[in-house]
Amino acid sequence: MLSEEHIPVLAEPLIEKLILPADAVIVDCTLGHGGHSLLLGSRLGPNGRIIGLDVDPESIKKARDVLAGLECRVDIYRENFSRIDSVMELAGAESADLILADLGFCSAQLENTERGLSFEQNMPLDMRLDERLEVTAADILKSEDENVLADIIYRFGEERASRRIARLIVEQRKNKPITTTAELAAIVVRAKGLNRRWVKSRSKEIAQTFQALRIAVNHELDVLERLLENLPSRLKTGGYAAVITFHSLEARIVKQSFKQLEKAGVYEALTKKPITASQDECRRNPRSRSAQMRVVCKKM
């Protein structure tokens, strides 16, 4: 049985869109704790296969336990989904019936006190989803000049106060490096003239800057674009690609990529508009509120 943190987003509407054979090959690009793979894999027979990718060793460990009872074959790789090409070659899988990417985070990642992904607790400003990456959020705040910081916060956080925030970051680091989530949140509060009690809320006013740094640290938009470029060559004819996004930047990239390939006759859209969570799902799983899913089928 899935615990709350394992609940996969938009799983039921995804399954409704798919017709998969019992021997299907499914690539779960964002394995997490295995929620989507468990539901999809339970529909496969012994000749079916799940290929899971994730960069987080703790998530992989939990996913192995969750998926251990499946009848189908399960292969898990600690790789970023931008390397889907090389992973499928290594796995000996030429093409897939379904390639799925859920671009959100599980609660365990947000609550991990070593990652610094949330401003609700005071944590080190790391933000790496893959500890093998060399640059942390604190490194960026320490080393980048004011214009670069402003650009990061504006482009990846869509934050209009990016220049004020960047200016205060540079002023602050002259006295002391910014190394914790509380220090960064306090700078954003000051730059935007917010009430300090907002620091512990899920206010978008603060979250935009945190999102921007997380995207920069993990190169999230770059790796998403590489995944989308590789999808057509790794899908079987009649195979599906499904991507679940959680903010406008990644949604825009997925929408544009799918649209271009639809016009080229490569894909058929199975979702005229992105699928969003029902009121019931939002009640059961608040994480699903901002989720949007787009599904396409490969025609050629």
Please give the annotated binding residues for S-adenosyl-L-methionine, written as ranges: 34-36, 54, 81, 102, 109
Query: Which residue ranges make up the annotated binding site?
Result: 34-36, 54, 81, 102, 109
Kindly report the number of other CB atoms within 10 A of residue 256's CB atom: 12
| CA atoms of 128 and 199, how far apart (whole Å) | 22
Question: Quick one: which of 74, 213, 110 has its CA closest to 152?
Answer: 213
Residue the block writes with tokens 């674009």: 225
Cα 185 from Cα 103, distance rounded (Å) = 24
